[in-house]
Amino acid sequence: MAVEVRLPTLLREHAGGAASVRADGGTIGEVFGALIDEYPGLAGQLVDDGGSLHRFVNVYRNDDDIRYLDRLDTPVTERDVVSILPAVAGG
């Protein structure tokens, strides 16, 4: 089941320049796994070495931050849109 994933400008270079890609999976983690299989350059950008969501990206199922859902275990269907936004941060 393919889910639409919208990529921020910063990550598009790792996905052939696409603003939006589709990947299979029933959870955000599975979708990210399929994405990384297809675009290995995305490895390390989405998930950290410990297998958790990278702290500098925000991931949303529709408009809900998955950190407030079930993180990478958050279920998705083909009707959902997953959006990735870089954290806006500084010091």
Partner 1 sequence: MSFATPTLRLTEEQLRRIVAHCYDGLPDEACGLLGGPVTASGEPTGVITDVYPCANSDASAVTYTVDSRDLIKAMRHSEDAGGALVGVWHSHTHTDPYPSETDVRQAVEPGWLYALVSLRDGAPMLRSYRIRDGEVDETAVVLDR
Query: What is the contact surface with partner 1 in residues (CB under 8 A)?
Result: 8-10, 56, 58, 60, 63, 65, 67-68, 83, 85-91
Output the smallest distance, CB 37 to partner 1, in A.
25
Smallest distance from partner 1 to CB 67, Å: 7
The residues near 31 (Cβ < 8 Å, ≥ 6 apart) are 3, 5, 23, 24, 25, 76, 82
15 vs 34, beta carbon nearer partner 1: 15
